[in-house]
Amino acid sequence: MNSYVIIGNGVAAVGCIEGIRRVDKNGKITVISEENHAVYCRPLISYYLEHKTDLAHMNYRDGHFYENMGCEVIYGKKAVQIDSKQKQVLLDDATALPYTSVCVAAGSSAFVPPFEGLSTVEQCYSFMTLDDTLALEKAIHQDANVLIVGAGLIGLKCAEGLHGRVKSITVCDLADRVLSSILDTECAAIMQRHLEANDIHFLLGDTAVKFDKNTAFMKSGKQVSFDILVLAVGVRANTALVKDLGGEVNRGIIVNTKMETSIPDLFAAGDCTEGEDISYGQKRVLAILPNAYMQGHTAGVNMAGGNAQFDNAIPMNSIGFFGLHAMTAGSYDGDVYEEKTDCKLKRLFTKENRLIGFILIGETERAGIYTSLIREQTPLDSVNFEMLKAVATTAAFSPENRRKKFGGVV
């Protein structure tokens, strides 16, 4: 009987479990969970902070998932080494778990720069996990002034979650715009204006360089007082287990389309990996939930002796703040079709008869049609792209393609 070990207990791990069980109904599956929680939907932590959801509704699978899948979950333990010669995973309590194949689905961790004086800050939090959120919620109160370092997705979702529950929220970032890894200056300005209209204050092009208890000393020379500090500077893929083995690692663990690493019988999936971005033509870390699940499922099928590939990965982001939603996907070079108003924007990027990317702000309905065009690398001369520029609609596809893609009678 095969023994499978999955390091991590997030969305990629769920995909891996379900992929294994698609091929092997009886093999032993052991999941190592550093957190003491069953798998949950990590993007919902800000909604929990807002009191828009509760712990039960954050579950990514129901309470019987592991039992139904015949899995053993080891909670509160960390994998510290993979011994590829002995084919075993070593835990931080010296337990050794034998494996036939192993999947590293270890995700990513908050990056904390070496700020001077950070140890003097009593109320300092990250915002990556459910435990981070539970700790932050215990600390907040109506008279609290909150400083968030980082104006990326994590920092801004934290700000939204805290809105109305604290006295003030200030977000700083060395970049000159919000969401700098996702949006350009013009697009970011639309989101920033909306956030500012909801009492989120910004110090952009500036960041904290030193702390002394409840004071942040900024690069510009300003001083900012706060009661609670949230560090959302960035994340780093957890690659150490594979790197220590001599496996191929860049910003993430390098995987092929079967989710194999450079080490035999060792697979990887999710935010800790670096795989091919078909819209960009290079390997990149694509740390998003849909890709994590699909990578995990692909890894699981192949670990169990099946044959699966995930060869259409693209970067995607679906974000929203205070009712204003944005979706992005793919890459942003090539020719651009644009429509815009003060609070809405549509950009479609095309190259060599393909849609390679898009940015939508304000109107994101049916954006999955655009995503499908990018993933499937659909030739634009095979659809009515003039119609698709105006609105994402299945009517732009030929009857034959509609039957193939969407099924049913056309």
**What residues contact 379, with CB distance under 8 A and at least 6 apart?**
353, 354
Would you place residue 168 in the very low, low, confident or very high pLDDT band (cuts 50, 70, 90)?
Answer: very high
Phi first, then psi: give them for residue 381, nearest 5 degrees.
-80, 0
Share of the chain above pLDDT 90, in %: 85
pLDDT at 280: 78
Mean pLDDT of 251-280: 94
**What residues contact 409, with CB distance under 8 A and at least 6 apart?**
none
What mean pLDDT value characterizes the chain? Answer: 94
pLDDT at 68: 97
Would you place residue 409 in the very low, low, confident or very high pLDDT band (cuts 50, 70, 90)?
Answer: very low
pLDDT at 230 over 60: yes
pLDDT at 336 over 90: yes
Rounded to whole angstroms, how far apart are CA atoms 65 and 349? 41
pLDDT at 299 over 80: yes
DSSP letter at 40? Answer: B
Would you place residue 410 in the very low, low, confident or very high pLDDT band (cuts 50, 70, 90)?
Answer: very low
pLDDT tens, 18-58?
999 999 999 999 999 999 999 999 999 999 999 999 999 99
Mean pLDDT of 272-285: 87
Is the Cβ–Cβ distance between 228 and 166 less than 8 Å? yes
Mean pLDDT of 219-237: 96
pLDDT at 61: 96
pLDDT at 361 over 90: yes
pLDDT at 226: 98
Mean pLDDT of 389-399: 85
Domains of the chain: 3-109+236-303 (3.50.50.60), 118-231 (3.50.50.60), 323-406 (3.30.390.30)
Q: What is the token pair recorded at 60?
A: 């990514």
Mean pLDDT of 331-352: 91
pLDDT at 211: 98
**What residues contact 47, with CB distance under 8 A and at least 6 apart?**
53, 161
Rounded to whole angstroms, how far apart are CA atoms 375 and 387? 19
Phi first, then psi: give them for residue 218, nearest 5 degrees.
-90, 160
pLDDT at 363 over 90: no
Would you place residue 402 in the very low, low, confident or very high pLDDT band (cuts 50, 70, 90)?
Answer: low
Rounded to whole angstroms, how far apart are CA atoms 169 and 24? 50
pLDDT at 404 over 70: no
Mean pLDDT of 133-142: 97
DSSP letter at 100? Answer: S
Q: What is the pTM of this model?
A: 0.92
pLDDT at 366 over 60: yes
